[in-house]
Amino acid sequence: MSGRPEPKDGSVGTPLLARLLDTKSVVAKFLIRLLAPLLTCILILLLAIGHFTRTDMMDGIDNDVEAFASSISRVVDGLMWNLQTEEMVSALGAISANSALLGAEIFTEKGKLFISYGITPEDRIPGLLTVTRDIYRRLPDGGRVEMGTLKVHYTHAFADKEFRSLFAMQTMMILGVIATILSIASFTFNRTVSRPLRKLLTAIHETGRTGAWTRVDWESDDEIGEVIHAHNAMLDLLGAKEEDLAESERRYRHLFDNALVGIYHVDADGIVTEANQTVAQLMGYSSMERAGRINARNHYARPKDMERLRAILTSQGEVFRFRTRLRRVDGSEFWAELSGRLNADGSFNGILQDVTDLVEARHALEERDELHRAFFEENKAVMLLHDPVDSSIQFVNPAACQFYGYTAEELTSMTIRQLDCMTDEEIYRELKLAAEEHRGYFKHLHTQKDGTRRHVEVFTGPISLGNRQLYYSIVHDVTEKRRLEAKLERMATRDQLTGAYNRHAFFQMSRREVERARRFGHPLALLMFDLDHFKQVNDTYGHATGDEVLRVFALRCRADLRQSDIFARLGGEEFAALLVETGAEQAEEAAERIRQLALAQPIPTESGPLIVTASIGIASLEGEESVADLLKRADMGLYEAKQAGRNTVRKA
């Protein structure tokens, strides 16, 4: 790219032969490192080729001799049978057609030499090999007559000579091919590797000499091209980095001059040697250039702060957000925070910020926190702060300690669940019920230190304390309120004599169960009871005895029925029981069990034990019946039971 001609000192234009002779060149090193293993491989290859070639030649000669011996034996057997000696000699003369065949011998069946042709073992020729074949006459009946033996003598000497000639020719051809490949490889290596590397080296030397980034003028799609491309890209990147660095310096200066915080440098004597415009504005100067030499020590409103700052820098070498009051040129003061690091020469690089608004806001926040603390600690209501993650109690007020009987240390070592004696299932139901009723509080049962259980209403909401999210709970003791509510509820829903549900509560609860049974397709049954001849009990023994009979009968029925069933006194001696998820057969079994219970167990009274039987009517829910319809059918069953002589059960 520089346009200069390539140097003629051998780095680029040096002839290929000179570079081959130069042991420091890449081409020479490539050939030297390649030649030894290459020659070894060539030698092994030639030996392997020679071995397999010679073996194939010898095997070919052996196979030819075997085939010749087999074929000539078939000719000789007929001639020998007819004692045609001249023809046999003529047949053996075919040996001369193959240079490997040296001679042959025919022996009689008794082993006596009959005919000999050419070279035989008696001639003691080195490396003489022999192939033997039997001579026999095949008879018409399938048998054969042994007439003698044919021995053919041959040698591999001619094949060895031919092999050496062939091997030498193949070796020369292979060496020629290899020499050609090496020449082409050397030339190619020089053009594709050595030359671009020399260009790259020249460019590097030029860069080192002039200091200017020198690119390499070379394009190829191989690894060398990638290296040169990477080199050129690196030069472009370095050039861009230099430009970026210069731009960064310009930006840094711009940021320094226009930063919203004061940036300054003070020498070991306290003189401000450099500062941005923000420092000038904070200290009341029009500009740092017009301010001249400024002694930073003259601007500390409290000299003790300056001494404290110096002590921190001497011991730690740096300071972070050191707060002090500084004095402006006009004498006014402001709160400032200093951060920076002490240099080895005693100078100081610092950052200055005006934090007057922050300090005033913090003072206001501290006053508010003190107000909140007083509100929390002096309030008569029970107040708890607890972590929603693990339910641990974080803070309590004195009213909480007085209510629960624990000290503040004991309470803050506990969880809110340790105060609550409700099960997880009960708590879940209460949370769900509070959501359905849109209540802003939860009904819980808390345990005090002495084991006393108190009904409480807990008002809970989230509160942020610093960077922590906590729950703030106000606890109201409503134990007396719950007792009065339970009493009023019992009076409103229970029969005062028997403790069973009254008529109004029975109809309310039954309507819900009938709707649920219809919605889910569950069975439902209703029993109606009437005590037989109860009027006679009142007339004979008095109303007090009658009341006792009603109370005991109701108590026994409630004990026999399930907790999910609804048992009520409808009036006088008439009772009803709604059996949830109960079919007709199960309802009849329950009714019969209660009837037998009334018959078998006398009721103890002041007038003595009395046996009072019961008539029972049964009705099972059908279709879209209401509670009134179901009660009406059960009443019909009760009427049928009375008409049947009482003390019996009838289904409507």
Cβ atoms of 349 and 368 within 8 Å: the answer is no
Instruction: Work out whether the CA dihedral 101, 107, 112, 115 comes out positive or negative.
Output: negative
DSSP letter (8 states) at residue 122: G
- Segment holding 611, helix H or strand E: none
Query: Torsion angle of alpha carbons 233, 235, 238, 243, nearest 10°?
Result: -100
**β-pairing verdict for 262-266 and 271-275:** antiparallel
A 10 A CB-CB count for 17 gives 9
Distances (CA, A) of 620 to 11, 176, 328, 508, 631: 114, 114, 96, 18, 10
- Selecting among 105, 513, 548, 573, the annotated active-site residue is 573
Sort residue 293 into left (φ over 0), alpha (ψ -120 to 50) or beta: beta
Name residue 633's amino acid: R
Q: State how far the Cα of 114 lies from the Cα of 128, in Å rounded to an integer.
A: 21
A 10 A CB-CB count for 582 gives 25
Numbers of helices and strands, H then E, in the chain: 20, 20
- Segment holding 561, helix H or strand E: none
SS3 128: coil
The number of C-alpha atoms within 13 Å of 414 and in the hemisphere containing its C-beta is 18
**Burial class of residue 374 in the structure, from the number of CB atoms within 10 Å of its CB (0-12 exposed, 13-18 middle, 19+ buried):** exposed
Q: State how far the Cα of 638 lies from the Cα of 616, in Å rounded to an integer.
A: 5
What are phi and psi for residue 259, nearest 5 degrees? -65, 145
DSSP letter (8 states) at residue 193: I
Q: Order of strands across the sheet with 271-275?
A: 294-295, 271-275, 262-266, 348-354, 333-342, 318-327
**β-pairing verdict for 294-295 and 113-118:** unpaired
Any idea what the Cα angle at residue 321 is, between residues 318 and 325, rounded to 5°?
A: 115
User: Is residue 573 annotated as a catalytic residue, yes or no?
Assistant: yes
Closest CA to 595 of 523, 498, 530, 643: 530
Closest CA to 523 of 575, 568, 587: 587
Distance of CA 547 to the CA centre of its chain: 73
Query: Torsion angle of alpha carbons 242, 244, 245, 248, nearest 10°?
Result: 170
Cβ atoms of 386 and 465 within 8 Å: the answer is no
Name residue 239's amino acid: G
Closest CA to 93 of 115, 113, 77, 108: 115
Tokens at 428, concatenated: 């879940």
Active site residues: 573
